Chain A
């Protein structure tokens, strides 16, 4: 037993706790279950305490963290369900299947709450494309997301992709899914009603991912990682599609008491969590589980075979439920029943193999790990940008920035995703946020995900606040009022005090920003142990923001829409090059402090923009982020091919104004006659407004700093990624 618990990833203390809990030594199957349920990935033992400071409530939040996904009320009897998750480690081992099953998992989290999934977003992080291995991982991940998502008929409408050396040993594959449903459809993952049947639906159980959660997600990669390959699950999107349709039909016909998807820790997790949430017990006959191959009870309990759901059904509705599943060609089998009490009892051909308190599996240990400010911070923060020698050919700098992998056009990626299916996408990928109309209403959802990890590396607290602000800003640029967010917090090894300090500071920043911007965090995911050979990734908290556009007519894109419009910047540009793309690409440095973030100003700029859009004043909007104002303006020109002539008055050096990444700024266009109205909106909120110039022609001209043809700019950013992939 001793080697077994260690092999399964439990510490000696955790093992002792299990013995105390049960009053005896655990059986092999029980030990396997605890090892998974108490792993970092499932139990959040290192993060729970820290996450408790997040604001999760608002009048329109129907479901916060604690269930499979978060839910907000968008009015008109409709609710939006969304969540983000990570599938980092499996994707590094087998990129196609890792990414594919990541999509599968997050989609299940959405329809298990009762909502039809209507969109996915994928924030991805890779190492540099210099190595064949990274190009292989990149290709595999994109193909996996496409292969699975397209087959499900769920459009992937957004995401972002960043490349940095810190991700060389640990790529990040985060996936977000959004669903929509009538509020009444809400169904929870809880078992209630003693005597109700526990039904397992979907694919047969096999050896996929045996021990995946504890073995892969909770450990760093080292030389033995290649051997872990057989643990990766293989996805079957066709069966998942059938599951979506069958489950939604079952919910429409009100045939279910509870619904839970099987993800990490498979049956162990689904049964214990639903029982614990419902305050009941469960009795399972494991031999009823349909198998792909011969397996023993230990393997069946921990298998992470995909495309399986657990349903709680009243006995009188059972026949109808099985009938619906049969019509869709899905296996559905009664594997047990809900019982009185708290015990999860599992038997195998009449012999009891598990008998534990259900709630004990679902409430693992909670750790308050030691945190220590890392030594590197003082050094990197002390960097003085004024010591730099800046290149004189500013046109060249701008073109180099947008032909680099981080800022170049990502068409070759998102054209592999069906981003139009379901006929909801009204703003396609390539703008600041994806916009999905809500059929049957005049509303739309604006969705975006962001996560500049360089800023977080340089200052975890401020950097994370920027991430939250930027995600909200992107939604605002599309015309949406940000309502709530989900997140995926990707960090290194939490047992290291310096990493845990980054985590704590980051979450503190997230909590403060969310509170200030009045954005509840309704769901999320933490991924630790993103480290290889002792080197951690940059702390990478990724936010997924959902906003509401009250009237579809208020949606906006980044492109300059017409000639002869005024180009205005809302917000001030300061002298700050710290953490900028310019600094990294041209000077190969990640240093300094991230740009200042003043949440009050941020809020003011965002509301000015929303009001401006609502009143029809602002005709296009683009937030300024990586690459600074210059890149933002270039992207506005490339949209519809309309250039601009701009006259910038500033005390800053050209490089500073063009490529500094000051926060709380938008580049907007409007008609001249509306300028005063916009000024009023800005002034009342204390928001600076700078008229930069006008749209028109086929060149982007900024002072005597930048003078580029639209064609040239387009050529620089389009096709760049394909070139880099050629190696």
Chain B
């Protein structure tokens, strides 16, 4: 794939043409802006983080049937996508009140919505991305009702997929912004999915884990972005518990005896004893290590081991 001329440069990304018809390259920058460009800065490594996170999240959404512009990750900071005719309407899904919504409705920050809210915004730097009603959208001719319905439905589906996804990773998905575009007459999800376009709060500490840290000068922005990416990349989360079930001492272990005999006849005279047991691994979520040890002990007593003939040992690994 050949990267060709720059088509467009936004605040956080550059879009390049390629030699493949219909395909472009998004290059993610480390530049960060806020408050309609009034606040500017650099978040080191953000380009890499956001490109990778977008790649992972889009692939998850694709597998669940959401059409996105994502094709593949080309390099650490570059993503190959389909070229979309973008709608000038952005959608924001709100699970909790924060930022402008809190102000607008007079809610305390972090109030939970009765049910996820979908808001439409005008994608216009000059006008400061104002919120729009459907009537405004019709007036401006930005999208038809049917298209808005479809975008809203997709947005809620994305929420259904990602809210539990982040929750499992110890993060509350408070809100997020989506941009859509058309390709061959069909609506695709475009842009990116990263801490730049959503609000994530750590479930335990309540800590802000998104671009708000940049907006509000809370510090440790780079580390936080890296942490979010780490959690997203992590395939094993939660607690892993290993249980070793072995025959009780003094109980006959015919399988062990047979193996011992076989080893000896193969010339491994140094083996004086063989015990054959079971190795069971459990994955636990939503529970701390100490409680886990207790609960797993109960599991062993009741089901996983037979205390009359078996001993067990539990290993909880965070």
Contacts and interface: CB of A to CB of B under 8 A. Distances in A.
Please determine if A and B sit in direct contact within the complex, based on CB atoms under 8 angstroms apart: yes
Interface of A: 287, 294, 349-350
B65 interface: yes
Interface string B54-86: 000000000101000000000000000000000
Contacts of A350: 65
A287 B65 CA distance: 9
A350 B67 CA distance: 11
A147 to B, nearest CB: 15
A349 B63 CA distance: 9
B258 to A, nearest CB: 12
CB-based closest 3 A-B pairs: A349-B65, A294-B63, A287-B65
Contacts of B65: 287, 349-350
Contacts, number: 4
4 contacts: A287-B65, A294-B63, A349-B65, A350-B65
A294 B63 CA distance: 8
Interface string B160-181: 0000000000000000000000
A575 to B, nearest CB: 47
With most chain B CB atoms within 10 A of its CB, the pick from A287, A294, A349, A350 is A349
Nearest to A727: B265
Contacts of B63: 294
A347 to B, nearest CB: 11
A493 to B, nearest CB: 37
B265 to A, nearest CB: 9
A452 B63 CA distance: 54
Contacts of A287: 65
Nearest to A726: B265
Contacts of A294: 63
Which secondary structure characterizes the binding site on chain A? loop
B150 to A, nearest CB: 13
A726 to B, nearest CB: 10
A356 to B, nearest CB: 23
Interface string B269-280: 000000000000
Contacts of A349: 65
Nearest to A349: B65
B168 to A, nearest CB: 16
A349 B161 CA distance: 15
A522 to B, nearest CB: 44
Nearest to B62: A349
Nearest to A348: B65
Interface string B221-234: 00000000000000
B217 to A, nearest CB: 41
A350 B157 CA distance: 15
A287 B66 CA distance: 13
A667 to B, nearest CB: 41
Nearest to A295: B63
Nearest to A287: B65
A350 to B, nearest CB: 7
A349 B65 CA distance: 5
A294 B65 CA distance: 13
Nearest to B63: A294
A102 to B, nearest CB: 25
Nearest to B60: A294
Nearest to A350: B65
Nearest to A294: B63
A259 to B, nearest CB: 30
A124 to B, nearest CB: 24
A284 to B, nearest CB: 16
A287 B63 CA distance: 10
Nearest to B65: A349
A204 to B, nearest CB: 16
A350 B65 CA distance: 8
A121 B68 CA distance: 54
A294 B62 CA distance: 12
A58 to B, nearest CB: 51
A578 B65 CA distance: 67
A294 B235 CA distance: 14
B66 to A, nearest CB: 9
Nearest to B66: A349
A525 to B, nearest CB: 36
B288 to A, nearest CB: 29
A301 B163 CA distance: 31
A350 B64 CA distance: 11
Interface string B170-209: 0000000000000000000000000000000000000000
Interface in B61-115: 63, 65
A205 to B, nearest CB: 15
A645 to B, nearest CB: 46
A143 to B, nearest CB: 13
A350 B63 CA distance: 12
B200 to A, nearest CB: 24
Nearest to A296: B63
A292 to B, nearest CB: 15
Nearest to B64: A349
A363 B65 CA distance: 33
A47 B65 CA distance: 43
B222 to A, nearest CB: 32
A725 to B, nearest CB: 13
A300 to B, nearest CB: 13
A516 to B, nearest CB: 52
A416 to B, nearest CB: 15
A727 B142 CA distance: 82
A294 B64 CA distance: 10
A350 B187 CA distance: 14
A299 to B, nearest CB: 13
A554 to B, nearest CB: 44
Interface in B260-318: none
A412 to B, nearest CB: 16
